Amino acid sequence: MSSDARTREYVARQTAAGRTKKEIIRLLKRAIAREIFRYLTTPVSVPDISDLRPARQAKNITLTTVAEHFSVWPAVISCFERGTRRDDDLAGLPGLAHRRLNSAAQQIPRP
């Protein structure tokens, strides 16, 4: 209760209102549960990455080559391209993965 500024303010308000420490902790737990529930039920927009694999294959770039370029395992790239794994570091903003693929295609030597 002493590390977060919002929590300290909340505790001060509740103490001023005459609540006991036990009641304040109960109220804090309820507030945390509401906040977590809001995060769990709010839909998150995910960038469209369905055309990454065809784009990579059209440029004749192997999965292993792309994985080495980004310093990750090939399975990570495969799962990311198929949409079975969400990787915000690879996807970034919408379109960033496509720009990264294009820049990788220019930097990666072709066989």
Separation of alpha carbons 100 and 106, rounded Å: 10
pLDDT per residue, tens digit, the chain (111 aa), is 678 898 999 999 999 999 999 999 999 999 999 999 998 998 766 666 777 788 888 888 888 888 888 788 888 888 888 877 777 666 654 455 566 666 665 665 555
Burial status of residue 97 (CB atoms within 10 A of its CB: 0-12, 13-18, 19 or more): buried
Residues of the chain by 3-state class (helix, strand, coil), percent to 5? 65, 0, 35
Q: How far is CA 3 from the centre of its chain?
A: 25
